[in-house]
Amino acid sequence: MTIPLLIAMECALQVNENLTIYSLVPPDAGQGWKLELFALAEPIAPHYHKLQRQMILVAEGDLKAFYEGETPVSLRSGEIAQVEPGIVHSLIPEGTVRFFSIDFPGFHFPEDVFYDIPPTVSAWTPPNSEFLPSLDPKYFGQKIDLGSYAAYELVTGHLTDEKWSLALLEIQDSPRHFHRIEKEIFVIVGGELDIEIEGKHRKLGIGESIAIFPNQVHHLKSAGREPVRVLCFSFPAFDPSDMYCLD
Protein backbone atom coordinates (compact mmCIF):
# COMPACT_ATOMS: atom_id res chain seq x y z
CA MET A 1 0.00 0.00 0.00
CA THR A 2 1.31 3.42 -0.93
CA ILE A 3 1.12 6.14 1.73
CA PRO A 4 0.72 9.80 0.67
CA LEU A 5 4.10 11.51 0.28
CA LEU A 6 3.47 14.05 3.03
CA ILE A 7 2.64 11.34 5.53
CA ALA A 8 5.52 9.10 4.50
CA MET A 9 8.11 11.88 4.72
CA GLU A 10 6.93 13.95 7.66
CA CYS A 11 4.49 12.00 9.78
CA ALA A 12 5.72 8.39 9.85
CA LEU A 13 7.15 7.03 13.09
CA GLN A 14 9.04 3.78 12.51
CA VAL A 15 9.17 2.27 15.99
CA ASN A 16 10.95 -0.83 14.68
CA GLU A 17 10.85 -3.12 11.64
CA ASN A 18 7.49 -4.51 12.79
CA LEU A 19 5.68 -1.28 13.67
CA THR A 20 5.23 1.94 11.74
CA ILE A 21 2.71 4.60 12.74
CA TYR A 22 1.41 7.12 10.19
CA SER A 23 -0.08 10.21 11.78
CA LEU A 24 -2.91 11.26 9.45
CA VAL A 25 -4.53 13.87 11.71
CA PRO A 26 -2.22 14.56 14.67
CA PRO A 27 -3.04 16.42 17.89
CA ASP A 28 -1.32 19.47 16.40
CA ALA A 29 -4.16 19.73 13.86
CA GLY A 30 -6.31 21.15 16.68
CA GLN A 31 -9.35 18.95 16.00
CA GLY A 32 -9.74 17.55 19.51
CA TRP A 33 -9.16 13.99 18.21
CA LYS A 34 -6.31 12.05 16.64
CA LEU A 35 -6.18 9.68 13.67
CA GLU A 36 -3.30 7.26 13.11
CA LEU A 37 -2.71 4.34 10.76
CA PHE A 38 -0.65 1.47 12.20
CA ALA A 39 1.30 -1.07 10.14
CA LEU A 40 1.83 -3.81 12.73
CA ALA A 41 3.53 -7.22 12.61
CA GLU A 42 4.11 -7.87 16.33
CA PRO A 43 1.96 -7.83 19.47
CA ILE A 44 1.22 -4.59 21.31
CA ALA A 45 1.65 -5.17 25.04
CA PRO A 46 -1.23 -4.75 27.51
CA HIS A 47 -1.83 -1.09 28.35
CA TYR A 48 -4.63 1.38 29.07
CA HIS A 49 -5.54 5.03 28.68
CA LYS A 50 -6.72 7.25 31.51
CA LEU A 51 -8.53 9.87 29.40
CA GLN A 52 -9.06 8.62 25.86
CA ARG A 53 -11.84 6.69 24.23
CA GLN A 54 -10.11 4.76 21.46
CA MET A 55 -11.58 3.19 18.36
CA ILE A 56 -9.67 0.52 16.46
CA LEU A 57 -10.70 -0.09 12.85
CA VAL A 58 -8.93 -2.66 10.69
CA ALA A 59 -8.08 -1.60 7.15
CA GLU A 60 -6.22 -4.71 5.98
CA GLY A 61 -5.47 -8.04 7.63
CA ASP A 62 -6.67 -9.74 10.82
CA LEU A 63 -6.25 -8.44 14.36
CA LYS A 64 -7.18 -9.82 17.77
CA ALA A 65 -8.04 -7.37 20.53
CA PHE A 66 -7.74 -8.70 24.08
CA TYR A 67 -9.61 -6.98 26.90
CA GLU A 68 -8.81 -7.88 30.50
CA GLY A 69 -11.27 -10.49 31.74
CA GLU A 70 -13.21 -10.69 28.47
CA THR A 71 -13.30 -12.92 25.41
CA PRO A 72 -10.88 -11.75 22.68
CA VAL A 73 -12.41 -9.86 19.77
CA SER A 74 -11.35 -10.86 16.24
CA LEU A 75 -11.34 -7.96 13.79
CA ARG A 76 -11.07 -8.16 10.02
CA SER A 77 -10.98 -5.54 7.30
CA GLY A 78 -13.83 -3.07 7.77
CA GLU A 79 -14.54 -4.00 11.41
CA ILE A 80 -14.28 -1.70 14.42
CA ALA A 81 -13.90 -2.04 18.20
CA GLN A 82 -14.09 0.53 20.98
CA VAL A 83 -11.92 0.81 24.11
CA GLU A 84 -12.99 2.91 27.10
CA PRO A 85 -10.58 4.68 29.48
CA GLY A 86 -9.10 2.43 32.16
CA ILE A 87 -9.64 -0.80 30.18
CA VAL A 88 -6.45 -2.84 29.85
CA HIS A 89 -6.12 -4.12 26.29
CA SER A 90 -3.56 -5.65 23.97
CA LEU A 91 -3.45 -6.24 20.23
CA ILE A 92 -2.09 -9.27 18.37
CA PRO A 93 -1.89 -9.27 14.55
CA GLU A 94 -1.99 -12.30 12.29
CA GLY A 95 0.94 -11.54 10.04
CA THR A 96 0.97 -7.87 9.10
CA VAL A 97 -2.15 -5.84 9.74
CA ARG A 98 -2.98 -2.21 9.01
CA PHE A 99 -5.47 -0.58 11.32
CA PHE A 100 -6.66 2.87 12.31
CA SER A 101 -6.64 4.24 15.82
CA ILE A 102 -9.06 7.13 16.40
CA ASP A 103 -8.61 8.72 19.82
CA PHE A 104 -10.90 11.14 21.69
CA PRO A 105 -9.24 13.40 22.77
CA GLY A 106 -5.94 13.13 20.91
CA PHE A 107 -2.60 13.14 22.72
CA HIS A 108 1.00 12.80 21.60
CA PHE A 109 2.43 9.37 22.37
CA PRO A 110 2.99 8.35 25.17
CA GLU A 111 1.07 11.04 27.11
CA ASP A 112 -1.97 8.82 27.78
CA VAL A 113 -0.49 5.31 27.56
CA PHE A 114 0.10 3.43 30.82
CA TYR A 115 1.32 -0.08 31.66
CA ASP A 116 0.79 -0.27 35.43
CA ILE A 117 -2.35 -1.33 37.29
CA PRO A 118 -5.12 1.05 36.20
CA PRO A 119 -6.64 3.29 38.87
CA THR A 120 -10.33 4.01 39.10
CA VAL A 121 -11.10 6.01 35.96
CA SER A 122 -14.09 8.26 35.37
CA ALA A 123 -16.40 7.43 32.49
CA TRP A 124 -15.49 9.12 29.23
CA THR A 125 -17.60 12.11 28.29
CA PRO A 126 -17.66 13.76 24.85
CA PRO A 127 -16.80 17.44 24.41
CA ASN A 128 -19.74 19.85 24.39
CA SER A 129 -18.76 22.14 21.52
CA GLU A 130 -20.07 21.58 17.98
CA PHE A 131 -17.50 23.95 16.51
CA LEU A 132 -14.03 22.86 15.44
CA PRO A 133 -11.46 24.83 13.45
CA SER A 134 -11.11 24.01 9.77
CA LEU A 135 -8.77 21.16 8.93
CA ASP A 136 -5.48 22.46 7.53
CA PRO A 137 -5.13 21.57 3.80
CA LYS A 138 -1.81 19.83 4.49
CA TYR A 139 -3.78 16.97 6.09
CA PHE A 140 -5.97 16.19 3.09
CA GLY A 141 -5.83 16.08 -0.69
CA GLN A 142 -8.84 17.36 -2.58
CA LYS A 143 -11.90 19.00 -1.04
CA ILE A 144 -15.11 18.15 -2.87
CA ASP A 145 -17.81 20.73 -2.10
CA LEU A 146 -21.35 19.62 -2.91
CA GLY A 147 -23.26 22.49 -1.33
CA SER A 148 -24.97 21.04 1.74
CA TYR A 149 -22.04 18.73 2.40
CA ALA A 150 -18.34 18.47 1.60
CA ALA A 151 -15.76 15.67 1.53
CA TYR A 152 -12.08 16.08 2.42
CA GLU A 153 -10.08 13.24 0.90
CA LEU A 154 -7.66 11.81 3.48
CA VAL A 155 -6.70 8.54 1.74
CA THR A 156 -7.98 7.86 -1.78
CA GLY A 157 -8.62 4.47 -3.35
CA HIS A 158 -5.78 4.68 -5.84
CA LEU A 159 -3.39 4.63 -2.86
CA THR A 160 -4.84 1.36 -1.50
CA ASP A 161 -5.42 -0.67 -4.67
CA GLU A 162 -9.09 0.39 -4.28
CA LYS A 163 -9.44 -1.80 -1.18
CA TRP A 164 -10.54 1.10 1.03
CA SER A 165 -10.58 4.87 1.24
CA LEU A 166 -11.06 7.51 3.90
CA ALA A 167 -12.66 10.95 3.86
CA LEU A 168 -13.70 13.54 6.40
CA LEU A 169 -17.30 14.54 5.67
CA GLU A 170 -18.75 17.89 6.73
CA ILE A 171 -22.52 17.60 6.48
CA GLN A 172 -25.48 19.89 6.94
CA ASP A 173 -27.66 17.61 4.83
CA SER A 174 -27.10 14.92 2.21
CA PRO A 175 -29.28 12.98 -0.25
CA ARG A 176 -30.92 9.68 0.68
CA HIS A 177 -28.89 7.04 -1.09
CA PHE A 178 -27.44 3.54 -0.98
CA HIS A 179 -24.44 1.63 -2.29
CA ARG A 180 -24.64 -1.78 -3.95
CA ILE A 181 -21.04 -2.77 -3.16
CA GLU A 182 -19.55 -0.41 -0.60
CA LYS A 183 -19.67 -0.83 3.17
CA GLU A 184 -19.21 2.39 5.14
CA ILE A 185 -18.18 2.98 8.73
CA PHE A 186 -18.93 6.43 10.12
CA VAL A 187 -17.13 7.82 13.17
CA ILE A 188 -18.48 11.13 14.45
CA VAL A 189 -15.71 13.61 15.30
CA GLY A 190 -17.61 16.90 15.57
CA GLY A 191 -21.23 17.88 16.27
CA GLU A 192 -24.15 15.44 16.26
CA LEU A 193 -25.28 13.20 13.41
CA ASP A 194 -28.94 12.53 12.65
CA ILE A 195 -28.89 9.38 10.56
CA GLU A 196 -31.78 7.48 9.00
CA ILE A 197 -31.16 3.88 7.96
CA GLU A 198 -33.96 1.98 6.23
CA GLY A 199 -36.50 4.42 7.69
CA LYS A 200 -35.19 4.24 11.28
CA HIS A 201 -33.61 7.33 12.90
CA ARG A 202 -30.67 7.50 15.27
CA LYS A 203 -28.62 10.35 16.71
CA LEU A 204 -24.91 9.87 17.27
CA GLY A 205 -22.45 12.18 19.02
CA ILE A 206 -18.70 12.63 19.08
CA GLY A 207 -16.84 9.38 19.70
CA GLU A 208 -19.65 7.14 18.42
CA SER A 209 -19.70 5.01 15.28
CA ILE A 210 -22.05 3.13 13.01
CA ALA A 211 -21.70 0.75 10.04
CA ILE A 212 -23.75 1.00 6.84
CA PHE A 213 -23.95 -2.16 4.75
CA PRO A 214 -24.55 -2.53 0.99
CA ASN A 215 -28.12 -1.82 -0.16
CA GLN A 216 -29.10 -0.05 3.07
CA VAL A 217 -30.80 3.23 2.21
CA HIS A 218 -29.44 5.97 4.46
CA HIS A 219 -29.74 9.72 4.94
CA LEU A 220 -27.25 11.82 6.91
CA LYS A 221 -27.78 15.32 8.25
CA SER A 222 -26.64 17.49 11.12
CA ALA A 223 -28.73 17.45 14.28
CA GLY A 224 -27.49 20.95 15.17
CA ARG A 225 -26.93 24.37 13.66
CA GLU A 226 -23.34 23.63 12.62
CA PRO A 227 -22.39 20.92 10.11
CA VAL A 228 -21.58 17.55 11.65
CA ARG A 229 -18.11 16.13 10.94
CA VAL A 230 -17.83 12.43 10.21
CA LEU A 231 -14.89 10.21 9.32
CA CYS A 232 -16.11 7.93 6.52
CA PHE A 233 -14.20 4.67 5.98
CA SER A 234 -15.24 2.92 2.75
CA PHE A 235 -14.69 -0.80 1.93
CA PRO A 236 -13.94 -1.10 -0.96
CA ALA A 237 -12.82 2.42 -1.82
CA PHE A 238 -15.52 4.98 -2.55
CA ASP A 239 -16.68 4.95 -6.16
CA PRO A 240 -19.13 7.67 -7.26
CA SER A 241 -20.77 5.22 -9.66
CA ASP A 242 -21.77 3.06 -6.67
CA MET A 243 -23.77 5.88 -5.04
CA TYR A 244 -27.47 5.68 -5.93
CA CYS A 245 -29.36 8.81 -4.86
CA LEU A 246 -33.10 8.60 -4.21
CA ASP A 247 -33.89 12.29 -3.56
List C-alpha distances in Å: 189 to 25, 133, 167, 218, 247.
12, 12, 12, 19, 26
d(CA 44, CA 63): 11
Answer whether residue 173 is part of any domain.
yes
CATH number of the domain that residue 202 is part of: 2.60.120.10
pLDDT of 2 higher than 60: no
Please check whether residues 146 and 70 belong to one and the same domain.
Answer: no
Percent of the chain with pLDDT over 70: 94
Answer whether residue 121 is part of any domain.
no
Domain hosting 75: range is 5-104
Q: Residue range 48-73: average pLDDT?
A: 94
Answer whether residue 116 is part of any domain.
no
Q: Is 39 exposed, middle or buried (0-12, 13-18, 19+ CB in 10 A)?
A: buried
pLDDT, residue 4, reads 47
Indicate the number of domains in the chain.
Answer: 2
- The whole-angstrom distance between residue 14's C-alpha and the CA centroid of its chain comes to 21
In terms of DSSP bridges, do strands 218-222 and 34-40 run parallel, antiparallel, or are they unpaired? unpaired
Answer whether residue 71 is part of any domain.
yes
Please check whether residues 237 and 165 belong to one and the same domain.
Answer: yes
Q: How many Å from the N-terminal Cα to the C-terminal Cα in the chain?
A: 36
Please check whether residues 87 and 164 belong to one and the same domain.
Answer: no
pLDDT, residue 133, reads 83
Q: Bridge partners of 184?
A: 212, 234
Please check whether residues 160 and 238 belong to one and the same domain.
Answer: yes
d(CA 161, CA 232): 18
